Structure formats: structure tokens, C-alpha cells
Structure 1
Amino acid sequence: MVKRALIVIDYTYDFVASDGKLTCGAAGQAIEQDISSLIEQFVEQNEVVVFANDLHEENDPYHPESKLFPPHNIRGTKGRDLYGSVKDMYEKYKEQVISFDKTRYSAFAGTNLDILLRERSVEEVVLVGVCTDICVLHTAVDSYNLGYKITIPDKAVASFNEAGHAWALQHFKGCLGATII
């Protein structure tokens, strides 16, 4: 049996809440229950669950996103809080999951995620969260390059850019060999 890890990417207030600083809005809110159900399922089956959350410093002129997007997920703000029932799932299972901050699109960039997964003999990553065409995409590309099998539940990813979301789903399947469920 292939050992899997659920990676919950950036499901935070700033990316999901209606008044978030860089929100997916209704599209992001619509995937909340699917993500929460997957978290519950993975924990109950003793599979690995990872929360990878965007972190930025206020007024950081050196971060490349500073030129592309409004300030978001700033350290010490409510924008970094997990959103809705996903936050509840994290609180319920925080002793059984892995959680870390990331400062780039990919959950692998500048983190020890690959080491954590390999220590647990993970062979397949199941990627959920936001944004499909940014952080989920870059995490998927790194997963592919590191040799992980990739699964994307299409009802558990969202973006503020519907065309980008649709393109990314096709890219996952056609270029990364991902399974879309």
C-alpha cells in the first residue's frame, strides 16, 4: 500500500475569507468541507497530514511577491489564521499533524517538507487548498520533480482566477501525471 500525505496549502483567512487581503472568496469557501473531510479521513487512517501556511513580513521590499500582490498573510495578523472548519480540524488534531510556515509558493521551497515526508515513507501527495494555479501548482511541480505520485481532489482546490484554476487542473494531469479526482 502506498503511503500518502495530505498537504493543506494556504487555507488561511487572507486567502479564503470574503474580506481577506488576497481572497479566492466564494470559490475558496466552497472547498472548506471537502478539505475538512479529507483531514478527518487521513487522520482516522493514520496517514500523514501537513499544513503549509504562507508567511510574509510587513513591508518586506525583498520578497518577490511584494511586487505582484497586495500584502497578505503578514506575521501576527488574523490573515494567517486557518479558515473555518479547517481551523477547527487543525485544533482538534494538532498533536497528530505537521504544520509549518512557508515563504514561497511551493511548500517545498526553503522548507524541510521533503525530509519530513521521506522520514514517514510517503510516496504520494494529495494536494488541497489555494490557489490552484499558484501555490498548489508550484507545490505540485516540486512534488513531481522529487518523484512523488500526485493526486488533486478537484473539489478541494480553488483560485481567484477561474481560467488559471482550469488551466492548472489540466497541467497537473497532462504534464505532471497527476490523478485528478
Structure 2
Amino acid sequence: MVFSLQAPREPNGQITRMINESTRLARIFCEKKLPVMAFLDSHDPNKPEEPYPPHCLAGSDESNLVPALKWLEREPNVTIRRKDCFDGFLGSIEDDGRNVFVDWLKNNQIKAILVMGICTDICVMDFVCSTLSARNRGFLAPLKDVVVYSGGCATFDVPLQVARNTKGALAHPQELMHHVGLYMAKQRGAIIANDVSLGKPRSL
């Protein structure tokens, strides 16, 4: 299980569903002691990611797990990776060239990953595309399947009228861009899942 999940600035139905589904599945994975990797955006304020405004700056609340998933920090099967770019694959590269995500895959002999998080059409899609490209080149054996759970992903919403009145902003219709991200991931070879069930964890 791989996900990138941080606190939304405002309540939102799609994002709430993503958090609920991520929490549900994370509990199941941890109950079964399956490996989990969580990417957290932790951006350097001196390295802007245009065209987006500053967000998830290192040390800010936005750069941490949402409250519903804070418990993951105490789980022995969970690897948390703070990244300073959209793409978790590239954000896993260390100064010495080692890739933390690739090491995690190989050390756990993972054949399939389940991907969830925010934003579907940015961080999730970039990570999925990089991972699939590396898999296709034979760099990630024994990884075979990259599964993106649609209900475990979400993106943000910038209505047209807001974009028109905000300098430098682009309209970003939430539902459309969510599906664009899923479509592009599928086009690159990902499996898109509408539902995920691995059994029920014991009550905590």
C-alpha cells in the first residue's frame, strides 16, 4: 500500500471519502502486517513548484498526516517518506542516488501496490507514471501490478469564477480532474479499482 495524504484546507466530500477509505484500508494492512509506505509533501519554501502556490511547507501542519492517520507513525510496518516534489518516486531519491521507494519494494518483495492519495491528477498520477515506467524497464522486479483505488484518491477544486478572479490561477474542476488523473494512470498501464476489500481488521 502506498499513499500520499495530507490535511485539506476546507471540508470536501471527495477528500473526506479519500481519508475514510485510506484509514479503513490502512488499518486492514496494518492488522495483516503488510508493508505500507506513506508519502508526505514537505516542500522547501526556497524551491517553488510552479504553477502551484506554496503548500505543505516543511514543518507546517499541512506537511503532516491528517489526524485520522496519525496513528500510522507508530506502526512498525509503515515507512513514512517526506518528499519535496510532486512525484513520490523522484522524491524518494537520496543524495547518494539510492531510492527509498525502490528499496522498500525490493526488501519486501512486493508484486503489487495499491495507490491512494491526493491529488489524483498530480502527485498520484506522477508517482504512478514514474513507477510504471521503471517497472516496464525492469527496474522494480518483482513488481507487476500498480493498482489505483479511485475511492481512495481525491483532488482539489478551483471553480472557474474563482480562477477568473485570482491572479495566476487556473480553473480546476474537481470531479473532472479526478477522472482525468485516473484515466491517464490507466492509459499508462495502471489498474483502476472501484472497490477494495481485504477482510475486516479487529477493533482497536
CA contact (8 A) 1:107 1:139 kept: yes
Residue segments in structure 2 that go unaligned for 5+ positions in a row:
93-99, 136-142, 157-173, 195-204
Matched residue type, 1:144? L
Superposition TM-score, scaled by structure 2 size: 0.73
Match of 1:108 among 89, 98, 111: 89
CA contact (8 A) 1:52 1:99 kept: yes
CA contact (8 A) 2:129 2:188 kept: no
Q: Deviations over 1:41-96 (max 9, x none)?
A: 111222110111111122x1x44x1x3112111111111121131223x1452x32
Give aligned-pair identity as a percent.
20
Structure 1 residue 99 and structure 2 residue 80: aligned? yes
In the alignment, which residue of structure 1 is the partner of 2:110? 122
Aligned equivalents of 1:110, 1:157: Cα separation in 2: 19
Match of 2:10 among 7, 15, 18: 18
Superposition TM-score, scaled by structure 1 size: 0.81
Q: Give the 3-state SS of the residue equivalent to 1:116 in structure 2.
A: helix
CA contact (8 A) 2:18 2:151 kept: yes
Aligned equivalents of 1:108, 1:172: Cα separation in 2: 15
Aligned equivalents of 2:112, 2:69: Cα separation in 1: 22
Aligned equivalents of 1:26, 1:117: Cα separation in 2: 32
In the alignment, which residue of structure 2 is the partner of 1:73? 56
Let me know the Cα RMSD of the aligned residues: 1.8
Aligned equivalents of 1:17, 1:26: Cα separation in 2: 13
Residue segments in structure 1 that go unaligned for 5+ positions in a row:
1-5, 20-24
Total equivalences in the alignment? 162
The answer to which structure has the higher helix fraction is 1
Q: Deviations over 1:69-127 (max 9, x none)?
A: 12111111111121131223x1452x321011111211110412112211110121110
CA contact (8 A) 1:140 1:172 kept: yes
**Structure label with greater radius of gyration:** 2
Aligned equivalents of 2:59, 2:118: Cα separation in 1: 21
Match of 2:38 among 47, 51, 71: 51
Aligned equivalents of 1:120, 1:77: Cα separation in 2: 31
Structure number with higher relative contact order (C-alpha < 8 Å, ≥ 6 residues apart): 1
Aligned equivalents of 2:176, 2:79: Cα separation in 1: 32
Aligned equivalents of 1:134, 1:159: Cα separation in 2: 8
Match of 2:181 among 157, 161, 168: 168
Q: Give the 3-state SS of the residue equivalent to 1:53 in structure 2.
A: strand
CA contact (8 A) 1:18 1:26 kept: no
